[in-house]
Amino acid sequence: MRAEASLALLVAVIGCSGVGMLVGIGIRPRARLAWAGVVGLGYLVGLGILIVLAQLAIVLQIPFLTALALTTALGVIGAISAARQLPPKKQLRPAWDSLDRAGLVLLSVVVLLLLLLGSVAAWVHPLLDWDAWAIWTMKAVMINQSGGVPSEIFTNRWYSFMHPDYPIGIPALEAIYFRLAGSEETTHMHVLTWLILPAAGSGLALLADERLPAKVWGPIIAALIVVPTVVTQALTAYVDVPVALMLSAGLLAGANWLESKRLKSLIVCAALIAGAACMKNEGMTTGLLLFTSLSLLGWRQWRQLALGWAIVLLAVVPWRLFLSLNSITGDLSPSRLIDTNYLSAHFGRATGGLTGLLSQAFSLQDQSPAQDLIVGAILVSAAAVVILSLPDRVAVFALLVILASLLAITSAYLVSYPVSLSGRIASSAPRVVLTPVMLLMLGAMLQLRRRSSPAQSISEQ
């Protein structure tokens, strides 16, 4: 029972703290229906902040449970701050047509199924997949047992298979669960990362609703989170789906900021990117390029951007310094990206990796040629929508982020010599391709129709 209670407590702390932070910065919908989106987005933000603080605690060599206390404190402070504000007096009802209602119902059904049935599946799903253990959970066991990162193991070349240079956020989250549960129970903990999927469904809807009607965002978001590859990958405890969803939400929050210049949208974007940066190297690289693109397009708001960068860099700089000071390296060498001799000898790995990645995008699941053709047509159409919307700033932003995700992945393929390129693509492409595909679809979605009447928004922030 202690494991079950600990999991429930951790989920509640993440969700409630995230919601507290959101209402504290002013995200307080007038429509009651939109609070489902606040809860979903709150889970993403709460988890992102928790793993940033947990990684920082490990770097500073203080008890990693301190991160849980700090996350709770931030949520409480946000809630108290919101309680001192006057609630909005005017309650606007959304002016929706039947297609808008159908889009909302469709997404609601998908989210509820993922939340209920999916959580049951995650609850009993054993830790079977190699990367889930070798890259994340094995590190969580080490952290739980030693109270931090055991440098003698992380610097041992025989442990290079576990990618010791990867951000430590997810292992730290799992270690927090182990410590609360009193045992290293590896079955139920899948729920923590699984819940990112239904949470993202409602959170993306809240973010998209600022620009688009439900008839547009409902079907698109529902389709993205119910794709069989996404669902099955989310059950494995790999972090590719969480990274893709955090960056996708960051894209929408960043687009909202470009349009409105509201600080709360930028803070949400930065928190989501920081969370992705603490999950995986590709999440860190793409996230940094995402926020750089946002900064270039909105540079006049440099004061707001300075705050956003402080949040993002808190997830990156301390960990990278920790790796350097402790001589911890991975099996991929970023320095090769500036080695002209290496690039001239192995640049074919980049083009081959990109080709393999794009090929995988047209076949997200084992399917018939006809289904591949349909998927390909959808992706090409989405790319055309983004490109034809240029030079719209949001379209430029979306295109830069999509290209950034492809660059991050192909760079990893480029520097992975002497590992077989075909083997690397076969083992990773079906997972890592989810990020550029989601970013592409959401980037195209942002261009389909701008909201003409603010009274139609379910959030009315």
Q: Annotate 273-319 with DSSP letters as a single string.
A: HHHHHTT-HHHHHHHHHHHHHHHHHTGGGHHHHHHHHHHHHHTTHHH
And the tokens for 119? 């959580």
- Confidence class of residue 270 from pLDDT cuts 50, 70 and 90? very high
Is the residue at 334 inside a domain?
no
The CA distances from residue 386 to 87, 401, 406, in Å, are 38, 12, 16
And the tokens for 121? 């599946």
Closest-CA residue to 9 (of 243, 241, 171, 189): 189
Give pLDDT, residue 38. 95
CA torsion through residues 125, 127, 128, 133, sign: positive
Closest-CA residue to 378 (of 390, 361, 394): 361
CA distance 168 to 185: 19
**Residues 231 and 184 sit within 8 Å (Cβ to Cβ):** no
Contacts of 102 (CB under 8 A, 6+ apart): 215, 218
- For residue 127, the 8-state DSSP code is -
Is the residue at 369 inside a domain?
no
**Residues 118 and 231 sit within 8 Å (Cβ to Cβ):** yes
CA distance 175 to 168: 10
Question: Which residue has tokens 């439900």?
Answer: 214
Closest-CA residue to 255 (of 283, 286, 213, 294): 294
Whether pTM > 0.85 for this model: the answer is yes
8-22, 175-189, 274-288, 346-360: the lowest-pLDDT one: 346-360
Question: Which residue has tokens 């600080």?
Answer: 263
Contacts of 173 (CB under 8 A, 6+ apart): 47, 50, 51, 54, 140, 192
Mean of the pLDDT values across residues 406-421? 87
- Confidence class of residue 400 from pLDDT cuts 50, 70 and 90? very high
pLDDT above 90 for 442 = yes
Contacts of 416 (CB under 8 A, 6+ apart): 331, 332, 349, 424
- Which has more confidence, 418 or 319? 319
CA distance 219 to 107: 7
Is the residue at 133 inside a domain?
yes
Is the residue at 173 inside a domain?
yes
Is the residue at 404 inside a domain?
no
Give pLDDT, residue 460. 44
Mean of the pLDDT values across residues 275-295? 96
Is the residue at 321 inside a domain?
yes
The total number of structural domains in the chain stands at: 1
Give pLDDT, residue 457. 45
Question: What does pLDDT average to over the chain?
Answer: 89
Closest-CA residue to 46 (of 86, 25, 75): 75
Q: At 395, is the secondary structure helix, strand, or coil? A: helix
CA distance 448 to 444: 7
Give pLDDT, residue 22. 95
The continuous run of DSSP H or E covering 243 comes out as helix 240-260
Which one of 215-219, 246-250, 343-347 scores highest in mean pLDDT? 246-250
CA distance 192 to 195: 6
Is the residue at 243 inside a domain?
yes
Is the residue at 38 inside a domain?
yes
Tell me which residue range forms the domain holding 272: 2-84+102-327
9 Cα distance to chain centroid:
22
**Residues 94 and 457 sit within 8 Å (Cβ to Cβ):** yes
Query: 262-283 burial, b for 16+ CB within 10 Å, e for fewer?
Result: bbbbbbbbbbbbbbbbbbbbbb
And the tokens for 225? 């989170």
DSSP 217-242: HHHHHHHHHH-HHHHHHHHTT-SHHH
Query: 8-20 burial, b for 16+ CB within 10 Å, e for fewer?
Result: eebbebbbbbbbb
- Confidence class of residue 192 from pLDDT cuts 50, 70 and 90? very high
pLDDT above 50 for 269 = yes
**Residues 311 and 272 sit within 8 Å (Cβ to Cβ):** no
Encoded amino acid at 43, one letter: Y
